[in-house]
Each structure stands twice: as structure tokens, then as C-alpha cells.
Structure 1
Amino acid sequence: MSFNKFKLINLLTIPMVILLATGCGSNAYVKEVIPSDGICELDANGCPIDPNDPDCTGDYSHCKPDIVPPNPNPDPDPVPPNPDPNPNPKPDPDPKPDPEKPVIPNGMVIDTRNPVEFILSVCDESFNPPLTVLGTIDNGNNKIVVPLHYTVAGESARLNAYVKTVKLDPSLSQEGEANVFLKFVWNEQDVGSSGYIYANVIVDDSAGNNDGAFKVKCGLADRNYYGIPLAIFDYPVTTLDYSQFTIKVTSYVISDDGGQIWLPVVSPKTGSVWLNNNLNADYITVGNPYFDPHKQAETTKDIHAYGGLYQWGRRADGHQLITYPDEATGVAVNGTTEDKADNPTGSLFIKSEGDWRVKPDQGLWKGLDAKNRVCPKKFRLADDNEWKAEYDGRGALGWTWLPPSFLKLSATGIRRGTTALVYGSGHEAHYWTSTIFNTNLANTLFFNYYEDDSYTHQYRKADGNPVRCRMDNKFL
């Protein structure tokens, strides 16, 4: 949602008598419509249109000096002011910011994507082992950082600092902590023609537990994958318009009944629901030392978010398992074979110039009833159009996160079907779609650190690529 906050403020500053006379739906701030003497005509800023109008006797101190009307009853013998005893005063050591100074400079636009951050806080005994995750926001490892993409009509600009503070409801605290404030902050900075600024969410509980952390109450939004709002921050995106960043709490988790647990994330652009991590990522694998289903990739090179590299249309039979000693190196867990098979009985990666199967089949990963379904219940692979609806191909050379940033896609690399070797980890990724290109090729969403675009591209079905699942529309 984008709205014009300054227009709202201007409307609220209109003298009440005018609103009562004309109704809120009229241009009440332009002209008093009751024909009578004593009319003071005001502009959109609540200032006199005619600075010499003797009927304008209200308080117009908020108006610019050149349009403040004269006092209709001036003192006939004004007392001259005392001379300034200090003609060269020192500046105020703590000057107050100019309230009329816009945060966003002219020509700068921040994307109005209404980003959302989900906090998982769940206590569920039905899992084995029982799942207990207390969602935490703090100023350390669980700090929330919001990347905001911008463009500038020119080579550079100066962005002013911004702070928005909200008070948290103590009933949402696991500890019943009161007097906790969250601040959405970015610093004053120089910006180029395009790029990202980073807003930090800072916990201020100096009047509470004073530990810089807020623990979210367990089970607040049970079975509600859209979550409930914890905090909503307005932030400027142009000189006049505002957008919103929302932090939501959810207790809804998704399980594949095979040792993987995900958190749903909702697209701020389309409202669609996706898994928050790739299949087989360390963060969603029960028993993994890095298991934390709330967590997403901290950077595009986060190896614990990489996950498995699947041959298109193949079951999760172990062929997809990869370990990553570092961000640029992927090592297969299992071996390889050159024998094609329609129904592989082992976990060997099948090397091929095209398809890993003897007989191609376009329905292996298509829809909820896919023959070789790898996504959890209610989820499936997205097709080309569903991926395109989430990203816009925007330039992002040297990205932190290429859109769609809410998915926190990681640069897993690709496992070549011809050699079974993994390459490109840390600087590129090719996410499988359900869309077939031809007998041997299927489409992926491709992005690369060294290119300034994201787009669909075709790869061999025998290649190994990451999988991210989307909820089917029938459940939205």
C-alpha cells in the first residue's frame, strides 16, 4: 500500500470551521463556500492565498514568511526590539531537524514493495522430536535488516536519516515484557543512481528487561500462514509518498513428513505463499546442527541455505544431496552413473547430455498431483509465469538480493549433467520451474552476480538445480 501522508497532514491542519461548512469530501482547504463577510481564502497548505487579506487573523506561523499576513490591528507605537547582545551567536549544539525538510530528495524513488518479515514462534508437541522455536528479535544475531531498492534521476543524491518508532503490545511477549519499542532506522547517506539502502530494526527495551531482545509469545498465530502483525512501520519512498514494512508472527509450519520443516512466506507483490527455504537446506533439516526453520539466507552466499541440486522431475532419492565446505565449493554426497532409468532405484546421479530418463515425461513435476512430487502437501513447483510475477528483471549487478527479495534466494550453483560437477556456487543459481521447453530441456529462473538481470533460461533435465516450492492457488 502506498499513500500520500503529506496530503493527509495538510488536510488535518485545515481550520475546523471550514470542514464543518463544506464537508470532508470537498476542496475545503481551497475556499470557504459560505458567501459572507470575513472570508479568509486558504491554499492547500492552510495558508492565506492573499497575504494582504485583513480577514486572515488566524495563526499562520507554519506558513512561509513571505505569505504570513499582516496583523489587522497593528500596534500604533511599536517598541523597537533590543539590539542583539551577541551579534555572532554560536550554533545550537543540538539543532532540531527541520520538520519540513523531506527525507527523500527530489528525483529519488524507493520501491513501494511493502516488504514483510515473518517471525516464527511455535511450540508443537506433534512433531518428533517436539518443535519449540521462540521467535526473537534482537540487536545481534536475530537483528532484522531490510534492503530497500532505489533509483535516482541523476548520478547521485543525499538521503536524509529516517526513524520510525512503534511500541510493542506486551501481550505478544513470551515474557510479558512491557515498554519495548522497535525502531525502523536508516542513516543519512550519499546514494548513487541506483542500488540499495539498508534499514535496521533496533530493539529498545531500556525501560523493560534492558537486554536488547524481544521474545515473541509461542503459538500466537497457530495454523495461520498469513500471520498476525507485530509491528508496522511507515517509511517514505518519494518526497510525498509512503510505503510500509510489516513484521508478522506465525506459528504455522510446513512439514514433508521426512525430516524437513519450513516456514511460509507471503509475497508482498502477489500475495502468493512460498516456502522460506530451498529443499534440503540445512536450516530446515531436522537434526542438522544449523536447524532453524525461521532462518533464511543471511547472504546470497549462505551455504546453510543452499540445499539440494535436483535433476528435473526426479524424486528426492538422495541424488540431490550436496555438502558445501565453503561458499564456492559443492561436493556430492553420492556417486554417479551413466545408465539412464525411468525409475531409478538408488541415489546415484545420472549423467546425460539431455534427459536422465529413457522416456521423457512432462508431468513429473507438474501440479499438485505430480508423479514425482518433491514439494510438501499443498505446495508445488512454480511455472514460468508465476516466477515472472514475483520478479521484474530489474538490474542488480553485484546484488545483495535480486528480486524477489522476500524469498532470499541463495546462489547455489549448478551441477552439470554431463560431468556431475558443481560449479558457480556463490555467484549464480538456476531455480527449476515446472515449465518444459522441449524433450531434453526445462526452464529455470537464472541470476548471476556478474550480470545485471534475472530471467528464465533453459537447462538440461539431467542438470542439478535448486528447488523452491509455491503453494497452489486453490489453498490461497
Structure 2
Amino acid sequence: MKNLYFILLLLVVNGCKKSEDGKVEVVPLAPTELKATVISKDQVDLTWKDNSSNETGFKIERKTDSGNFTEIGSTAADLTTFSDKTVSLNTNYTYRVHSFNQVGKSVNYSNEVSLKTINVPTLFTSRIDLVSSGAQSGGDITSDGGSAITARGVVWDTKPNPTIALSTKTNDIGTGLGAYMSNITGLTANTLYYVRSYATNSAGTGYGNELTFNAILVPTLTTTEITNITPSDAESGGTISSNGGTNIFSVKGVVWSTNSNPNIGLSTKTNDGSGAGAFKSSIKGLKANTKYYVRAYATNIAGTGYGNELSFTTSENFVFGTVTSATGRIWMDRNLGASRVATSSTDVEAYGDYYQWGRGADGHQKGTSAITNVLSQTDVPQNSSFITTNKLPRDWRSTPNNNLWQGVNGINNPCPSGFRLPTIKEWEEEVATWSKKNRIGAFESNLKLPLSGYRDSEKGNLSVGAGGRYWSSTTVRDINLNDFSDYFDFANNFVFVGLAPRSEGNCVRCIKN
């Protein structure tokens, strides 16, 4: 009975007050159902239930771990939410709320709620493996820090402690805990790199342990232009410009196929040793009149690097005989590409092909080949089109090369093995033996030269039956320093030797070396 009386006395003394109009006022009831939610790295939101109708407001208190509660804010009457924007990362907080009015504060506090604010993710950096494209690493996220992962990957630099402020990073698909893989590219060979995994949430970015590696890349190389093309063989090679950071080469060579992008998984490849620098490769076992794609390759401990892809078309299996001219020289008995020895000056079957000076048998020489006005940047154009131009020196190559048809070892010698283009002097010596210096003399000679005509250098039009134009290997530079080539021409009433633009298509009669 005494205890009950004491409690009632406390309520009268501490929880009640008489107002000026004589009414008795009491303290408000305490709020209940307090809840706390982590919103971001620097905000926690609180909500509670209001159990009174006479409060002036609510006061919020907070403590960390085993510390003491301190007031951190207040709200007005009937307002049951509060945002704490003074929190720190990765910290344990406990909250409680009480109501108050002019009499005093509620006798009790609300329930206490405890939580831990979010942290940046925790993760480890995966081991680094060298691959052909550079390197592979990744991360293993063991904690998201209490907030969803929004980005993850690896970041690298040539200096320690790289951060995501750098552009040298990956952004790998996926969220959540666990391991992920990242591809490290754009490296410089023989360079030390520092790597860290990273993961980002609303609290910020966490980093894994730092690893280092010395970049060893696949070799960098170019493919050598294809030369000495025959129905069954060709020559190419490559030049290794970068060893990728190691001098250890297991093999190098060229690989070819009738499909684009051949790789060393094919059996059609050469093995040309293991050193650095330039190398030559012999391509054998080809089919006649077939287009092939070629790439140089070199392999080191990081993998296999490939040179640029080139293409070429093998020449036809050309059947021909030989004749000995009045000068005692041995010639082919027909024009290159002709199906037979001429039976008359206008025998269409004996006209043969129309070569642009210096080009190989890549298909452009056919009278019906496609036409393009895009000049070639290399000795072996990467197409079979007839290249036209009206700009001096009217060469199919952007930069003239005088060495393409010089002798049996000329870069693009289109003649069969052991044969070559005649010089203009050799043509003149043949004409000197003719009884008639015109088309009649040309046909009556042992060479039986037909009026095969030519293909225009500017438009690609074919003109036949009126004259015969035949290339020589002789090159000429005019007074304006433009490079041309000499050709031999005849018609009804004349024989002529002159210079012609190399984009013109003329016939070829090969002479034995």
C-alpha cells in the first residue's frame, strides 16, 4: 500500500500541473514502435508511433556503442519522422525518442533501436594472368557494406594505388557479392603496372589489395607484301616490330587460307624460326586461279600476335610453248593469258590479258575485271580491280615503284618461271628483223603478234583489233620527273616505241631469261 501511494505521489508531483484556468495538465505519453533505416552513407531515417495528443514535440537522442545518449534533434507535435544526417560510415548507433510539453517530458522513452551505418564494399583483388590481349584479373567482393553494389571492376596504372578517377579501368557487368573477371588492355610492353579491384556502393568505393605485374604482350608485327605468285606458290613473310616484352619466341611464320582471318590452328602455315626482326616465308601447295588470305604470325609466352591481312590470287595454269625468234632469243609462243597461238592478226583467242605495268596476275588483267579509281598504297593491291586514274603520272600505285617488273626476280613478275618481261631494246632488235614494219610484219614473225589492243588508263575501256600494244620492263622518267614505262606498238602502217602511263592495260609477251 505504501508503494502504490509513493507512485501516485510521484505522478502528482512530476507528471501533473495545474493550468491558469484551474485544469490539471499531465506529461504526454511516450512514443512507441521506433524504427531506424539506413538511407545512405550520411543519413539514417527514424519513424515512431505518436501515443499522445498533448505533446509539444519529440526529442531524439543517440549514442554510439557503449557511450551516453545525447540529444541530436527535435520535431514538432504530431511529426513522427526524423532524418539524422550527421552519421559516419561503418558506425554502430542506438536511438531513442521521448515526447515533451510544458509540463515536462514523457515518463518513459520509446523503445531503443540499434544499427550500423553502411560502409564501402570489402573485396580482394584476384591474381593476374597474362593473356594475348594483355592481362586478366578481377575481384572477389566479400561484403557490400550494407548497400547495393553499383559498379565493380579493376583499375590499373604505372604508379601505386590507382583509383577510379583514372580512365584505365574496367566496369564489369554484374552486382552483388562474389567473384568477377576483368580484362586489362591497352598496355605497354615491358612495363610495370599496379592493379586494384574496386567496388562502389552508395557509401563510396572500396578497393582490394594491390597487385603488380610486368606487361608481356603478344608480338606486334606486319605482313610482308606477297610476291612471286605462281599457280602453286607465292612468297611473303613478316616484320616483328615489338617482341611484347620478352625475347622468348617459340615460332613465327605466315598462315593462309581461302577464308579471311586465318589463324595458327590451320595446318597451312610456315614455321620460320624463333628470332625477332624480319623474316621470309615460302607459301606452297596452292591451287591455281584461287584467292588466298595471308597473315604473318609470331608466338611468345603471352600468346600469338598476327600481322595485317593481305590477299592474293594465284595465277592460272598457263599452257604455252616456245619459239625462237630471228634474233635467236626464246620467247613464249603466245601472249600471256591467251588460249592459243594467233591464227591471224585479229584472232580474239590469241589476244590474252591486259596487264597494268608492274602488277601481278591478281585478276585485274582480265578484260572484264571490275574498275576502281582508288589507287593502291602497296605493290600488291588488295583487290582484283583495274585501277584507273587521270592524274599524272597516271600510275595505279599512289607512289610509283620502278622495280616491280625487273627481271625474273621482279617483285610482281607475271611471267612463268624462268621468263620475264623483255626490255624495250629487245623489242627494237626483234622489229629490226621484220620484213615489214607494221601489223603484217608482226604476224609474219615467229612471234605471231596479234592486234590485241589495250585497255584505257582513265576509263578502263577495252579497244582491240586496230593495233597491238606490248609492255617492256624498261622505265622512263620524263622532263617533269613523272615515271612511265616503255611499250611497243604496231598497227596497219607503223611500228612505234613510246612511253605509256602504268595504269594502262597492255599485253605481255614473255621472253626466256
TM-score (norm 2): 0.36
TM-score (norm 1): 0.38
RCO comparison, higher one (Cα < 8 Å, 6+):
1
Hey, which of these two has a bigger chunk of strand by percent? Answer: 2
Compare CA radii of gyration and give the structure with the larger one: 2
